Amino acid sequence: MAQPQPTPMTDNSTGMSYLDSLPRRVVTVFLPLLVFVFVLLFPFYWMAITAVKPNFQLTDYNNYSPLWVVQPTLDHIKYLLFETSYPHWLWNTVYISVAATVISLVTSVFAAYAIERLRFNGSRWVGLGIFLAYLVPPSILFIPLAIMVFGLGIYDTKLALILTYPTFLVPFSTWLLMGYFRSIPFELEECALVDGASRWQILIKVLLPLSVPGLISAGIFSFTLSWNEFIYALTFIQSSENKTVPVGVLTELVRSDVYEWGSLMAGALIGSLPVVILYSFFVDYYVSSMTGAVKE
């Protein structure tokens, strides 16, 4: 008995055939994409035009449009860079973020490897506990951390932030690397054990080279959170020379009820550029690592 032949696939039978019509493409693709791009980029546009607007245009909406700039000036940027401690705040933010990210990555690698690959009793509960620790808000943690910072005598130093930032960086980075380590076949590790490799050699020479996307993703995540962190930096730092960008811009450029809007927007715009550049270089690694982390 002859078997029925499968029906050939046509354009009308595919799931995307409804996009053949231009009005449907506009409504379902182009219009949502336009809204998304507008919501994403408009804050940067607003910061950019405010940073180069003269002061008299910032409040005179009767004669000047708030969405455009006439006679742009660099006075706000010059004031920010040469008459405030903004360059020093920027360096402090970079230094603290890089140091906290390195400490968090090293700690997370060891924790994730121990939980996922050593297979000890209760490892899953330990992993769950680490992730639940990430859910504790910093507004609660900074109180006991402040007692420890004062007790160690590191208040108003960069070390105070470098040591406290991993309290919220390590839990999520560990959870992310646990998922990525889980996606690597155990057979590779077993073959290395048969060949006489130690656990340290397996971690350094087998797992870490295969986990580069996960490490980059965890590093980007840690660096971004450290860069934008506000509560700890506001609580543990007092002197202007040790402040980070988020705290320095807010506390030094807002005097009572006087807001230096031009310099505030310039500081926010310049402060966001390093993170944007970082994401643009490693976005492919970030997406692939997140896929590996949630695969199981």
Cα separation of the two ends of the chain: 44
Nearest to residue 175, comparing CAs of 261, 292, 84? Answer: 292
pLDDT given at position 296: 42
DSSP code of residue 154:
-
pLDDT given at position 136: 83
- Which secondary structure element, helix H or strand E, spans residue 255, and what is its range? strand 254-255
Q: How far apart are CA 162 and CA 212, in angstroms?
A: 24
* Span 164-194, pLDDT tens digits: 999 999 998 998 888 888 888 888 888 888 8
Q: How far apart are CA 277 and CA 285, in angstroms?
A: 14
What does pTM read for this prediction? Answer: 0.82
Farthest CA pair distance, the chain: 90
Strands (E), the chain: 254-255, 258-259
pLDDT given at position 286: 61
- Could you tell me which CATH number the domain at 83-295 has? 1.10.3720.10
Phi, psi dihedrals of residue 2, rounded to the nearest 5°: -70, 135
Please state the domain extents for the chain: 14-73, 83-295
Tell me the three state secondary structure of residue 254: strand
Q: How far apart are CA 96 and CA 160, in angstroms?
A: 10
Q: Is 255 left (phi over 0), alpha (psi -120 to 50) or beta?
A: beta
Q: 93 with 227: CB under 8 angstroms?
A: yes
In which residue ranges of the chain is pLDDT below 50? 11, 13, 293-296
Q: What is the mean pLDDT of the chain?
A: 84
- Which secondary structure element, helix H or strand E, spans residue 163, and what is its range? helix 158-164
Q: How far apart are CA 213 and CA 224, in angstroms?
A: 16
Tell me the three state secondary structure of residue 259: strand
Sign of CA dihedral 190, 195, 196, 200: negative
Nearest to residue 226, comparing CAs of 209, 211, 246? Answer: 246
DSSP code of residue 206:
I
pLDDT given at position 62: 83
pLDDT given at position 293: 47
- Residue partners of 118: CB distance under 8 A and separation at least 6: 199
Nearest to residue 50, comparing CAs of 29, 64, 30? Answer: 64
Strand partners of residue 254: 259
